[in-house]
Amino acid sequence: MEISTLTAYHCLAFVWYFFVIYSITCLRTEERPSEVFLYGGQWKYLTVLNLVLQAVFYGVSFLADVLRLIKKLRCAKCIISSRDLLFSVLAFPVSTFVSISFWTLYTYNRELVYPKSLDGVIPLWLNHAMHTAILPVALLEILATPHHYPAKKKGLILLGCAAFLYISWVLWIHFVTGEWVYPLFASFSPAGLGAFFIGNFAIIVCFYNFGEFLNRMIWGDSIVILDYKQKGK
């Protein structure tokens, strides 16, 4: 994809995610269902945190494109490294996990993740913006430009740290309020919940590997050239 086209795409993606986040913040809390508690606000949900993550990623991507357009290549190289790390370790695996896990659980029993009472609060288009559109947009990003993945050990350690932070946040909220962020968690024993968290992390690792596989399959030669240039410098 030409750099000018890529710049426009990343700008539009950033604006889109910013708009979705803004739409969520405009939801009227006084209309919330009884299943939704106030502590932690919207920021206790992985779905919303993922939207912020995507907005940050596309903002960084747009900045990198602009720097390349104005020939600030040294600065662009640093920003591109950050962009690639953000995409490979977090943006792709988390968005894929959020979309697939949400619709899997929604199909099985929507009350576990998205009670029917939320239909009167969250518009249908916003639900799909949060849980459906994120996956094709992530796949489109892989098709649009190559990304340099970190060493496997480094990537998985960073992904594990991010997962640990979110799980700690969920457990803290339960400790303070006695409520679970997702009703599904209430059905597990402590040991079962631990196994559930470990199993879900294993799934995210699979999505990480899947993203790396797609990136290598589509951009294999480009990645080799990029590695060679970086080592040469």
pLDDT the model gives residue 34? 54
For residue 172, give Cα distances in angstroms to 114, 146, 167, 212, 231.
21, 38, 9, 33, 44
Would you say residue 61 has pLDDT above 90? yes
Give tens-digit pLDDT for 191-213.
999 999 999 999 999 999 999 99
Q: What is the arithmetic mean of pLDDT over 18-25?
A: 94
Least confident of 37-46, 76-85, 107-116, 151-160: 37-46
| Encoded tokens for 175 | 């400790």
Looking at the whole model, is its pTM more than 0.85?
yes
Give tens-digit pLDDT for 75-130.
888 899 999 999 999 999 999 999 999 999 999 998 888 888 888 889 999 999 99
pLDDT the model gives residue 123? 92
CA 201/CA 167 separation, integer angstroms: 10
Give tens-digit pLDDT for 180-196.
998 889 999 999 999 99
pLDDT the model gives residue 37? 58
Give the percent of the chain with pLDDT over 70.
Answer: 90
Would you say residue 54 has pLDDT above 50? yes
What is the residue-averaged pLDDT of the chain? Answer: 89
CB atoms within 10 A of CB 141: 23
∠ Cα 76 133 40 (to 5°): 85
